[in-house]
Chains A and B, each alone.
Chain A
């Protein structure tokens, strides 16, 4: 495990900007995504979905569908293992395997429109579509509930008769939709409010929003005659997919091989299964490979958005601007099954600020919506929207610069977080100062525009990762990664290996391995891959260097302590030896004579990930006639430790900001009175496109590299989606002249607030 061994100076590859190795294939359409795999004899799978928001399944009759020529198999939840129990890691944390299975194919009840009920495999797509119509499902329609506070009401329709609120003592006497109540805090909050010179409070709402990955879920599953099965799919983690499918179908892990396809975006939404166990169950039944690809409508209806939320916040403040206490209540939608990220919302809400007294309460609430899935910094953006809006109100009331107010209250190293961690290697103050000094913030606000500022935090994590480094016979190097490449990790892994080996980046290639070809790894998520898998790559490369030095020493017949490795070659420092340096190419060319192939694999459980902080500033204007908000200038600054590939880090900041701007201005799940989703498509679910946004400027703050990573990396992918909701909301509120507290800030809401 690395600890402070980073080469902080004279880095040759880390910090440079090589061209993305997979870029050309992706922009020219040559890359193989989940839907691009074809096998001989492959069947088309289709999913029969619920037309109701909430109903009891009385009967499923597939006899007519099975009688249709070309139909080879139909499956329902009865084809899943009935005795699968326990919990499994699933994006935002652990989830009960029975609930993951019941989300893939409903058991007894459908809990939201689009909930999968049955699946069919047929020789042609048209036959599969026709077969779906022939599957007769008899329902008893039940009352439904969509909104989070309505679901918490005592008379709300209850989704799960066995759900009793956890975290309440004594155990409640009646089942409810409140899966859990979470409480955390510290200090004397009442005293803080009693002594406060100023109290700021507000109620905020955010809508459920989808990750909006451009590639729908897709997979091909093939049940082998010998019991060995293969799944090709687009996911954020081939090992997690394997684990979930194995549990749901009651199979040994070793009987399933998952081959990761290229992934067209995930943002957390591809850390669980929807199609894979269904496709494999179909294939098991008919003995032929089965492909299932979701339509965009299915993606919206049946894959996880993140929670909509209702949030109440109160701040106790001294007249000098110091926040001395805070109360926060979060109510998060979990969707049809428990497991919203409300805990993470509580933990992150005040993570940017050193507040002595905190009382935080969160509710995890089920309702008749699709089960939420992880989405960049799960749980944090909604909580930050409320807190950062309240801080903006505070700055206005005090007449203080919003950056200065945040610097006054910012956490610094040594501060204690509400969740128990001590702040270390934090560069929030430096990031706030970088924004304050930026050309954007120094420029006056343009006429007709307003400016908003907000900060954000994410923990970043490490965890289990594996990587291998192979030296080819010609001295080139292959890095084998255990994580699907979403944000450019092929390049960053290759760069860290090249830096360690002293090679130019052009001599190092990185590939992503299937579940049988490398050791276990957690998902590509949580901003963990550059940190954790990168650590495995560097340690594997260090082992290779040690091996190369040993071989050079053997060649020169000297002590290995007298061999140095520099710029991709071994040099002998023994003055008694008159020898020339041995390059990696020379050593690799004679590997058979010095011990065989040169390679190393490292598996580890990385600890010591350092948190990241971001500060965004947004200028926008509002079309007074239509109410449309237009972002005119945007800058994102972030505490990134050390950027391995700065262009990709900048891309993460820009992508997170773009998604956050969409969350703030346009995106929402719109339900009708019957509990059915009314905007399950990109035409009606409005995500920002390039023409909606200005160039998003970025500032990478490298003031505090993480000493627990060989090259100082911190995770960077989650932080940038946290500040935009409030940065945008604060700017809109300034123009409108009143606090805009309900997202999205759609043109209709803005016009109404402006009295038009």
Chain B
């Protein structure tokens, strides 16, 4: 897992890339919250995920493969 959002580093103590064992976005958030308190909630509220290159927003049920690459990105809105 990689983050391109600077705010995530505030939760992880500067760590930007790390391994997470999760099969869905829901379990991923749970794992993030356990490892870096506050990060799971922050990601759920304010961020999107690119899972193997496809962007997901607010999709807790989206599946994650064993070798999936996940990028945490700021939630994309628009005008």
**Dominant secondary structure of chain A at its interface with chain B:** loop
Q: Are A419 and B71 in contact (CB under 8 A)?
A: yes
7 contacts between A and B (CB under 8 A): A167-B10, A169-B9, A268-B79, A347-B74, A421-B55, A459-B55, A526-B79
Please, which residues of chain B bring their CB within 8 A of the CB of A525? Answer: 77-79
Q: Are A463 and B4 in contact (CB under 8 A)?
A: no
Report if A89 contacts B (CB, 8 A). yes
Given contacts A87-B46, A93-B46, A94-B45, contact A421 B79 (CB under 8 A): no
A: interface residue count bin:
35 or more
Closest B residue to A168 by beta carbon equals B6
Q: Are A420 and B6 in contact (CB under 8 A)?
A: no
Query: B2-21: which have CB < 8 Å to A?
Result: 2, 4-7, 9-10, 13-14
Q: Which of B2, B73, B75, B78 has the most chain A CB atoms closer than 10 A to its own CB?
A: B78
Please, which residues of chain A bring their CB within 8 A of the CB of B45? Answer: 87, 94
Task: Select one of A181, A183, A458, A608 contacting B78, CB under 8 A.
Answer: A458
Give A contacts to B, CB under 8 Å: 87, 89, 91-94, 166-169, 171, 180-184, 211, 267-269, 271, 343-344, 347, 374-378, 416, 418-422, 424, 458-464, 525-528, 605, 607-609, 715, 718
Closest B residue to A459 by beta carbon equals B76
Please, which residues of chain B bring their CB within 8 A of the CB of A268? Answer: 78-79
Give the CA-CA distance A560 to B75 in the complex, in Å: 44
Please, which residues of chain A bring their CB within 8 A of the CB of B9? Answer: 167, 169
Give the CA-CA distance A374 to B58 in the complex, in Å: 21
Closest B residue to A528 by beta carbon equals B78
Given contacts A89-B77, A526-B77, A718-B78, contact A166 B50 (CB under 8 A): no
Give the CA-CA distance A382 to B43 in the complex, in Å: 27
Report if B59 contacts A (CB, 8 A). yes
Please, which residues of chain B bring their CB within 8 A of the CB of A608? Answer: 54
List 18 additional contacts besides A182-B6, A344-B74; criterion CB under 8 Å.
A87-B46, A91-B78, A167-B9, A344-B76, A347-B74, A347-B76, A377-B78, A418-B4, A420-B69, A420-B71, A460-B78, A464-B58, A525-B79, A526-B77, A528-B78, A605-B59, A607-B55, A607-B62
Q: Are B77 and A461 in contact (CB under 8 A)?
A: yes
Given contacts A169-B14, A607-B59, contact A421 B78 (CB under 8 A): no
Q: Are B73 and A167 in contact (CB under 8 A)?
A: no
Give the CA-CA distance A458 to B69 in the complex, in Å: 23
Give the CA-CA distance A451 to B9 in the complex, in Å: 44
Give the CA-CA distance A377 to B76 in the complex, in Å: 10
CB A675 to nearest CB in B, in angstroms, measures 27
CB B29 to nearest CB in A, in angstroms, measures 16
Q: Are B79 and A271 in contact (CB under 8 A)?
A: yes
Given contacts A343-B74, A607-B59, contact A183 B50 (CB under 8 A): no
Given contacts A166-B7, A182-B5, A607-B57, contact A526 B76 (CB under 8 A): yes
Give the CA-CA distance A613 to B55 in the complex, in Å: 17
Q: Are A347 and B59 in contact (CB under 8 A)?
A: no
Give the CA-CA distance A459 to B77 in the complex, in Å: 9
CB A152 to nearest CB in B, in angstroms, measures 16
